[in-house]
């Protein structure tokens, strides 16, 4: 739920409803109704303003999977960095790496066909 994510991030940043509304240039009542799940379909423009003040990517407000799948840089051990460096030096570009990840996700979702 977008409203709950906005509320959580707002509180993490130590902002009141009034402060967030003033900094984003939006109505305090609208943020309040969003956080209370009364307003469920905010515009992208509204969310962009909120995300900018909260200093988070817009996707963090929209995508409920974002919180669950986000990886902190501190969670990446040196072996992951080595793998990334090796891929880069071997000529694998970002697009190829994304294609591999997409293929791997697709493969994992398929039922075992034996």
CATH of residue 41's domain is: 1.10.260.40
Q: What is the rounded distance in angstroms from the CA atom of residue 96 to the CA atom of residue 102? A: 10
Q: What CA–CA distances, in Å, run from 51 to 78, 101, 111?
A: 31, 28, 39
64 and 9 share a domain?
yes
- Domain that residue 38 falls in: 2-69
pTM check: above 0.85: no
Q: What is the rounded distance in angstroms from the CA atom of residue 58 to the CA atom of residue 48? A: 6
pLDDT in tens, the chain (114 residues): 889 999 999 999 999 999 999 999 999 999 999 999 999 889 999 999 999 999 988 888 887 554 444 555 555 677 877 888 888 889 888 788 888 888 888 888 876 654
Query: pLDDT at position 25, please?
Result: 96
Which residue, among 39, 13, 12, 11, has the nearest Cα to 27 in the 3D structure? 39
Tally of domains within the chain: 2
34 and 90 share a domain?
no
31 and 83 share a domain?
no
10 and 55 share a domain?
yes
């Amino acid at each position: 739920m977008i409203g709950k994510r906005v509320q959580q991030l707002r509180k993490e940043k130590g902002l009141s409803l009034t402060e967030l509304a003033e900094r984003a240039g939006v109505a305090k009542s609208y943020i309040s109704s969003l956080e209370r799940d009364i307003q469920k379909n905010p515009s992208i423009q509204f969310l962009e303003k909120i995300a900018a003040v909260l200093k988070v990517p817009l996707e963090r407000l929209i995508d409920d999977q974002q919180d669950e799948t986000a990886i902190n840089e501190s969670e990446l051990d040196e072996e992951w960095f080595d793998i990334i460096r090796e891929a880069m030096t071997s000529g694998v570009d970002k697009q190829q790496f994304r294609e591999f990840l997409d293929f791997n996700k697709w493969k994992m979702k398929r039922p075992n066909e034996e």
